[in-house]
Amino acid sequence: MTAGAVIPSSKELEMLVLHESLARERMREHERSIDQARQRQMLNRLAQARRLQRRAESASRRARALLLSL
């Protein structure tokens, strides 16, 4: 240890540990929030793809029906 180094008290150490714990929890919350946003975005894209697929299938059926009527 260097000369003049201050040794933190047990209360100071306790506060440091508490702050570290809170910072880690905030980071986990942030990561969960990001994961949830990505999941919502993926689900929205999947729903949009399904809607487009249904439209394409419907257009294909209409085109076949039109060809058969000629």
pTM to 2 decimal places: 0.63
Proportion of the chain in helix, strand, coil states, percent, rounded to 5:
85, 0, 15
Domain count, the chain: 1
Decide if 68 is inside a domain. Answer: yes
2-56: per-residue pLDDT in tens? 667 788 899 999 999 999 999 999 999 999 999 999 999 999 999 999 999 999 9
Domain annotation covers residue 47: yes
pLDDT, tens digit (0-9, with 9 covering 90-100), for 55-68: 999 999 999 999 99
Has residue 40 been placed in a domain? yes
Which tokens belong to 15? 């506060």
Q: Is residue 69 part of a domain?
A: yes
- Would 8 be classed as within a structural domain? no
Domain range for residue 69? 25-70
Inside any domain, residue 67: yes
**Structural domain includes residue 53:** yes
Using the 8-state DSSP alphabet, how is residue 23 labeled?
A: H
